[in-house]
């Protein structure tokens, strides 16, 4: 119910926040805030472990260091919280003439990626587990006809135990 629900729409730019505020103005439970997931959320006004769900669509692969990024996501999520990713998982040949020309496409610096910033579903599972997510599932499942689309929904859950503040 809207009286018990808060949805925080975030982006790294004021432009998209302003557009979202206009589009969703009829929904009083939507809040808006600048968030750079590559930086510690607390320094940006987001309380530790205060979100039950984080939804990220084709954003996490676009960061410099996935391990650091996932630690920042962990800092946002409450114990038992869910991360819902919608990520491109296959580097399509036409990306070389379109997406890869966008500034920042090759900005990754971690050792998880090679020629492009995308990870396969099994790589996502491994990096999520390495960063404290206990349960990870990806759809479409391996061998499904929809796998040809090169896009996956990945759901990962944080540990149920209480976090200790550092």
pLDDT digit string, tens, across residues 29-85: 999 999 999 999 999 999 999 999 999 999 999 899 999 999 999 999 999 999 999
Q: What is the pLDDT of residue 148?
A: 86
Mean pLDDT of 95-117: 73
Tokens of 99: 């997406």
Round to whole Å and give the CA distance between 116 and 108. 8
Query: How high is the pLDDT of residue 101?
Result: 53
Q: What whole-number distance in Å separates Cα of residue 120 and Cα of residue 139?
A: 12
Instruction: Give pLDDT, residue 100.
Output: 60
β pairing state of 151-158 and 77-88: antiparallel
Q: From CA 136, how far away is CA 87, in angstroms rounded?
A: 14
Q: What are 113-150's pLDDT values in tens digits?
A: 888 889 999 999 999 999 999 899 999 999 999 988 88
> How far is Cα 25 from Cα 77, in angstroms, rounded to an integer?
26
């Amino acid at each position: 119910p809207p009286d018990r629900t808060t949805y925080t729409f975030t982006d790294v730019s004021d432009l998209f926040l302003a557009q979202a505020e206009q589009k969703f103005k009829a929904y009083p439970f939507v809040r808006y805030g600048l968030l750079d997931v590559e930086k510690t959320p607390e320094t940006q006004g987001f309380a530790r472990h205060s979100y039950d769900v984080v939804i990220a669509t084709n954003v996490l692969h676009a960061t410099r260091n996935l391990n650091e990024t996932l630690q920042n996501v962990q800092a946002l999520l409450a114990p038992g919280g869910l991360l819902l990713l919608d990520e491109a998982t296959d580097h399509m040949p036409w990306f070389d003439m379109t997406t890869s020309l966008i500034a920042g496409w090759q900005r990754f610096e971690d050792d998880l990626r090679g020629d492009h910033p995308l990870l396969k579903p099994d790589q996502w599972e491994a990096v999520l587990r390495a960063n404290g997510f206990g349960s990870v599932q990806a759809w479409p499942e391996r061998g499904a006809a929809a796998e040809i689309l090169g896009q996956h929904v990945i759901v990962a859950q944080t540990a149920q135990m209480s976090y200790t503040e550092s």
